[in-house]
Amino acid sequence: MLETITPPIDVPRAQLDPILTQSEKLSVFSLALMRPLRDETIILCCDELQRGVGIFAFDSKLQLTAIIDRVIGSAINIESVVTICLCTCRSGLGQQLTDEVQFKLAKTRCQDAGIALVDWFIVAKGNVYCLN
């Protein structure tokens, strides 16, 4: 992601390689994010072995809880989705005051739907923040 995340050296293969570490998750996200950086959220869906089974992309400034509701509506139709990980790119500032509250609400909604929300990466020029 240009000046924010270094280019991936080794990217996990979909439905084959487990995506376990933050750097592996970021390598997948770095391939999916648009350039130049703009407001968008990418959702990585993984199975019980933590292998990637799908990616959703939202090109908007929607609140995290609004995005989660849409993802849950789609992901519950895919039997193999057990966990999800998020990456939000912001063209302006990095973290916002409401991020932790939004993440807790999103985690609860996912848990109620039988899906575990593991990480939320927030990418802005020069920084990557992680909530988990």
CA distance 66 to 72: 10
Counted domains in the chain: 1
Phi, psi at 37, each rounded to 5°: -55, 135
Q: What is the CATH number of the domain that holds 41?
A: 3.40.140.10
In a domain, 102, yes or no: no
Write phi, then psi, for 40 (nearest 5 degrees). -165, 160
- Domain ranges, residue 66: 22-95+117-131
| pLDDT tens digits, one per residue of 103-128 | 999 999 999 999 999 999 998 877 89
Q: The tokens of 72 are what?
A: 């849950």
pLDDT digits (tens, 9 = 90+) for 56-75: 999 877 888 889 999 888 87
With respect to residue 10, please indicate whether it lies within any of the assigned structural domains.
no
Domain annotation covers residue 63: yes
CA distance 111 to 127: 28
For residue 79, tell me if it sits in a domain: yes
Query: Is residue 106 in a domain?
Result: no
Total-model pTM: 0.87
Mean pLDDT of 81-109: 89
User: What residue has token string 């807790």?
Assistant: 104
